[in-house]
Amino acid sequence: MNQVKTLGLLALLSGLLVTIGYTLGGSGGALIGLIFAAVTNLVSWYSSDKIALAAYKAQPLKQSQAPELYSMVERLCQRADLPMPGLYLVPSNGANAFATGRDPQHAAVAMTQGIVDLLSPEELEAVIAHELTHVKNRDTLTQAVAATVAGGISYMAQVMQFGLMFGGGSRDRQGGNPIGAIAAIILAPMAASVIQMAISRTREFEADAGAARLTQNPRALASALQRLEAGARQMPMQANPSFEPLLIINPFSGQFLSGLFATHPSTEARIQNLLKLEQELGTGQGLQPLG
């Protein structure tokens, strides 16, 4: 059901890109928007890992640099029946992690120096299991496409704004509507962000559950999320907002939003779901609060 919902939201994003193209230049603009949507999706599909890793300045992590971490990831990949992803380290003291790549054969898992320093081995294993679940479910591609299309919508809105400011734009073209253009400039990027964030939220609960089953230790991920949120409040990560949905937790202090504008479900809700899953799996203390 979540997969269908995600596909529907991606279709809405692409449709929004076509609509803003029509507003920009009538039927010709709609065609441009359709082509732009196809190109951005194709570029995302081939280059999602490179785009996200470059955005966070992630550097390849060699096995000789972190042999225990490599062993941990290899063990989890064997359990999940996944190929070994590329491992990357983000030079940031902010504690976070993400996975990217168009498919399991081209996946990468990146973690900040801050998360390696902050979490216990069990908690870090749970976080990596969460990211590997994203890889297994191909959420990495879905989120990268959503981020790229949403970025394209924002770019086209800026083009429209520039055109209106300097006397051009859609008003001289068949099907153009200056009032519609103004509305699109304001509303289209906002709508794109809402849809992108909804896509992100649909994937996080499933990745949490997948990680809990993979490690058989839901409480470790619940504890990690609790510590990561506290860490983000104290030391926000310098991150690209377009790729924020890729991260395991919102990296920006003071921006733990709820509702339509939240990139992630609330940490409290995620923890409660994990503790319920712990009870179902019979692996721990169930609904007992975290220590």
Distance between CA 36 and CA 30 in Å, rounded? 10
Distance between CA 162 and CA 175 in Å, rounded? 19
Residue 131 catalytic?
A: yes
Q: What sign results for the dihedral spanned by CA atoms 132, 133, 134, 138?
A: positive
Query: Nearest Cα to 112, choosing from 64, 155, 162, 57?
Result: 57
With beta carbons less than 8 A apart as the criterion, state whether 88 and 100 touch. no
| Cβ atoms within 10 Å, residue 193 | 18
Q: Does 264 appear as a known binding residue?
A: no
Q: Does 134 appear as a known binding residue?
A: yes
**Given 123, 125, 131, 244, which residue is catalytic?**
131
Distance between CA 263 and CA 250 in Å, rounded? 7
Strand order across the 86-90 sheet:
59-60, 86-90, 108-112, 97-100
CA distances from 131 to 31, 190, 210, 214, 260 (A): 37, 27, 9, 11, 23
CA 190 distance to own-chain centroid: 17
Distance between CA 12 and CA 174 in Å, rounded? 25
| Cβ atoms within 10 Å, residue 139 | 27
Residue whose entry in the numeric block shows the structure tokens 């997948």: 210
Q: Does 106 appear as a known binding residue?
A: no
Distance between CA 150 and CA 152 in Å, rounded? 5
Positions at the binding site: 130, 134, 204
Positions at the binding site for Zn(2+): 130, 134, 204
Catalytic positions are 131
